[in-house]
Amino acid sequence: MKILVLNGPNLNLLGEREPNIYGGETLKSINDEINAAGREMGYEMAFFQSNSEGGLIDRLHEARLDCAGVILNAGAYTHYSYALRDAISAVKIPVVEVHLSNVNSRDEFRKNSVIAPVCVGSIAGFGKYSYMLGLYALDNKLGGSNE
Ligand code: DQA
């Protein structure tokens, strides 16, 4: 079973982008850790980042063909992309919404997620561990039947 870790706009700049909010680690370093944990659990792992809405939607469409689930940090698209929300509904595989920062304790506009209602759940505020918790949550949703 394959799990896709999908990252949206500006997350390629992790490590240099507002490290006080998002931490000092690069996306590659976070992905390496998630990859190791996912493989340990018996999953095949795939990783993709795009700064464009269309890039994320295209990758989600592909995922419906060969992935059992998705861990998604949609970045700012979280807050206003109905196109991404529709794509999540369309693909029918479980998608877990994750955020490094606690979006509920920041700007007002970050408190609203238009994708949350079509995701199986949301995790925010635990830095890179949000992805790890997303992996455990997805494993639970998938019944842990990855062997
Ligand atoms: C983010 C939170 C979003 O509000 C923001 O636009 C991001 C990152 C997070 O991981 O905390 O780009 O998704």
Q: Please choose from 5, 6, 103, 126 the residue to mutate so as to test ligand 1's pocket, defined by most ligand atoms within 8 A of CB.
A: 103
Tens digit of each residue's pLDDT (9 = 90 or more) over 80-133: 999 999 999 999 899 999 999 999 999 999 999 999 999 999 999 999 999 999
Tens digit of each residue's pLDDT (9 = 90 or more) over 104-118: 999 999 999 999 999
Tens digit of each residue's pLDDT (9 = 90 or more) over 44-78: 999 999 999 999 999 999 999 999 999 999 999 99
pTM of the model: 0.96
- Cα(8) to centroid of ligand 1, in Å? 9
Q: Whose CA is nearest to atom 13 of ligand 1?
A: 75
Q: Whose CA is nearest to atom 9 of ligand 1?
A: 99
Instruction: Name all contacts of 33-37 with Cβ < 8 Å and 24+ positions apart.
Output: 33/128, 33/132, 34/5, 34/71, 34/131, 34/132, 34/135, 37/132, 37/135
> Which atom belonging to ligand 1 lies closest to the Cα atom of 73?
13
